[in-house]
Amino acid sequence: MADISLIQLNSGEQGKVKKICAGGCATKRLYEMGFNTGAKVKVVKNDAGPIIVSLSGNKIALGRGLAQKIIIGN
Amino acid sequence: MNTIALVGNPNSGKTTLFNALTGSNQHVGNWPGVTVEKKEGVLKFNEKIYNIVDLPGTYSLGAFSEDEIVARDYILKGNPNVVINVVDATNIERNLYLTTQLLEMGAKVVVALNMIDEAKERNIKFDIKALSEKLGAPVIPTVASKRKGIEELIKQSIELIEKDIDFKANISYGENIDKEVEKLKGFLNNKDLEYPSQWIAIKLLEGDKYIYELVNKDENVNSSNEFKNVIHNIKNNTEDYELEIVDKRYEFVSNIADLTVTLPDEAEETITDKIDKVLTHKWLGLPIFALIMLIVFQLTFTVGEDLFGELMGRGIEILSEIIENLLIIINSPSWIISFVTEGIIGGVGAVVEFVPLIVVLYMLMGFLEDSGYMARAAYVMDNIMRALGLQGKTFISMIVGFGCNVPGIMSTRTLENKKDRMIAILINPFMSCGAKLPIYLVFIAAFFPNNGGLVLFFLYLLGIVVALLMGKIFSKTLFKGESSYFIMELPPYRLPTLRNVLRNMWDNVSGFLKRAGTTIFAVVTVLWVLAMLPLGVEPYGQSSILGQIGLFIAPIFRPAGFGTWQAAVGLFSGIAAKEAVIATLGMVYAGVSQGAELVSTIQEVFTPLTAASFMVMTLLYIPCAATIGTIKKETNSYKWAIFTVVYTFAIGWLGAVLVFQIGSLLGFS
């Protein structure tokens, strides 16, 4: 599977964080919220508005722009 | 006195633990960012007294937002003897990230592995002994909400105070960074800096601008050219270092977690997931939010006013008669009788009458907060907020503002972006606070008794709409630039505990009563005196000083339909506190027509249309003194406080005039 962005995952799909391509500040925040390299993310909801993901059982809502910058690998 | 500080992620149960330790009544909400300022309390244990400090919940101890800085500064400069790190057991990795930062700072840490019951339910298993060994800090499982493990936690913390051990997380950040750290330490050691040199070195590499400035200001350190070169070099590479450090720290945490925590393979769909499918639904989310708010206001009205409100009114009336008779029996001078019955009971009583309503409203809001729904409300609002150049989290500060604008404005500290924060502060006064409720209620009782809940709902809605519109305007004019990214935890739904709901209610109601006894009482006293002077005039008449002041202001409000001196005085006194509007009206109107009830007098002086424009005015115009003061404090500038006063007055006036003029054109009266 080629690398895709978190926003391209549909509800119910999951993957591992490979890289974050945001500015330093946002990237750090994401890391601190648990989106570190290798973290397993499952998309709970991805239709309109911010996307909701489950990160080791905890739900986090994040804006679509931000979700786009999270690169998911396998 | 020894001090124990509480640190933890937002929503980890820190404030609940604080309450359990101190027996204090801090308000807890099931959403991130309830504690924005540190709170202090006292723990008594074995006849000794300990000072407990609850710090704002943070994910990290960087310098992202105001609340992180508050927490960090306290740990470094407040020198707590022990830090209790509250860790959410259901989310161990992210929480331990903060733990490692605490250890790196050299703090004496006790880990409270909180919500261990929820973790068990989710099949998360811990090897507590191993976890404690790996961290080098005691780990105590707790359930703060049920007061389990608290005693053990206290004992361990107290024991640590006496012990003299070095706490340290020895994290290797990889060859490159470790080398840089060592190099920096060479410059920093023995320089008598406020913080541990290892920590400063890491923070410098992380690009922490506060620490950078601190070091740069220190003459001992910055005098060497060599050091300047090193710092310069770091500055060019900060971005790489910064992320590498966070990543390594996470690796460190992950390794510990892997060895000590067993997670279930696949989390099954929880009740929270099921509820969220409906409440955060693409199309249903917003209508459901609107419906919930409508129900809240309708219930407030039905239960608070119809059921208990009349009783309260009757009670105050009877009390007033008894007091008046007593005063007559003991032959009090007539001015005392007038002051007590017309001034105090007419004024303060008019406010106190609404306590049942406020009780109901705050209980319902407390229920929603506690349930975890409010974070969802911010979520469903994010789309609208984004279209307006704001973001979902701003909406949380707005909802807090429904209770009172002061905490609403304080809660903007969790917004990372300066632009977002300034806008959130400036629009908060439009969120209709509990103190404005009595004003609406009097006018609703006079003119719209059958649609009370609906009128309330639309007033609150109007407040939100105006706030959002102003937000849009501000983001296009005063504060240009990117809005911050949106990232927010959605905490699991919890059934609110009666204790929490009552506590939340009491926090607000006691504030309300306190204001009635202090600010409102003072305002009423001053106004009463002004209504009696100069001696010999007809009390509460136009020619009294009060009447003259009112007459002077009143023409401004003529285009809005309520250009009477009484209304003007009422609005003017409302700047002290919003309840004062109704207290003043209660005094000046009830004073005129002896014994007449405020509502029936209002019916004579106002019309449905002017009542509507008056309510819009009170909804939008100048916030109370406490709010203005908070704006000054939080923006750190008189300029913005004055700006808020001027622009909210303009908006309120404009709103009221529009309602009156358009209403008149449409044939309403």
pLDDT of residue B37: 65
Answer yes or no: do A63 and B382 touch at CB < 8 A: yes
Note the Cα A45 to chain centre separation in Å: 12
pLDDT of residue B127: 94
Q: Which residue ranges does chain B devote to CATH 1.10.287.1770?
A: 175-262
What is the reported pTM? 0.81
Q: Please name the residue of chain B whose CA is at the shortest distance from the CA of residue A26.
A: B485
pLDDT exceeds 80 at position B218 = no
pLDDT of residue B594: 42
Q: Are B652 and B427 in contact (CB under 8 A)?
A: no
Among B246, B272, B418, pick the best mutation site for testing chain A contact (most A Cβ within 10 A).
Answer: B246
Among A10, A11, A16, A29, pick the best mutation site for testing chain B contact (most B Cβ within 10 A).
Answer: A29
Give residue B301's identity as a one-letter amino acid code.
F
Q: Which residues of A touch B239 (CB under 8 A)?
A: 24
Q: Which CATH number applies to B175-262?
A: 1.10.287.1770
Q: Determine how many CB atoms are found less than 10 A away from the CB of residue B501.
A: 20
pLDDT exceeds 90 at position B356 = no
- How many independent structural domains does chain A possess? 1
Specify whether the backbone of A71 is left (phi greater than 0), alpha (psi in -120 to 50) or beta: beta
In the numeric block, the tokens 């290798």 are attached to: A38
pLDDT of residue B5: 93
Task: Give the A:B interface size as CB pairs under 8 Å.
Answer: 118
What band does B593 get if pLDDT is binned at 50, 70 and 90? Answer: very low
pLDDT exceeds 70 at position B259 = yes
pLDDT exceeds 60 at position B114 = yes
Spelled out in words, what is the top-level CATH class assigned to the domain B2-162? alpha beta
Angle at B70 between CA B64 and CA B74, to 5 degrees: 130
Q: What is the CATH number of the domain that holds A62?
A: 2.30.30.90
Better pLDDT: B615 or B416: B615
pLDDT in tens, B132-179: 999 989 999 999 988 899 999 999 999 988 887 776 767 888 888 888
pLDDT of residue B524: 79
pLDDT of residue B486: 84
Q: CA of B542 to nearest chain A CA: how many angstroms apart?
A: 57
Beta carbons within 8 Å of B499's beta carbon, 6+ residues apart: none
Q: Residue A60 is nearest to which of B97, B247, B487, comparing CB atoms?
A: B487
pLDDT of residue B140: 95
What band does B410 get if pLDDT is binned at 50, 70 and 90? Answer: confident
Answer yes or no: do A26 and B392 touch at CB < 8 A: no
Among B64, B280, B420, pick the best mutation site for testing chain A contact (most A Cβ within 10 A).
Answer: B280
Q: Which residues of A touch B250 (CB under 8 A)?
A: 31, 36-37
What band does B590 get if pLDDT is binned at 50, 70 and 90? Answer: low
First-to-final CA distance of chain A: 7
Better pLDDT: B209 or B138: B138
How high is the mean pLDDT of chain B?
84
Q: Please name the residue of chain B whose CA is at the shortest distance from the CA of residue A25.
A: B64
pLDDT of residue B595: 42
Q: CA of B486 to nearest chain A CA: how many angstroms apart?
A: 5
Structural domain range at position A44: 4-73
Q: What percent of chain B has pLDDT over 90?
A: 22
pLDDT of residue B172: 83
Cis amide prior to B429 (ω within 30 degrees):
no
Q: Are B504 and B358 in contact (CB under 8 A)?
A: no
pLDDT in tens, B235-246: 777 777 887 888
pLDDT exceeds 60 at position B312 = yes
Answer yes or no: do A33 and B280 touch at CB < 8 A: no
Answer yes or no: do A61 and B488 touch at CB < 8 A: yes
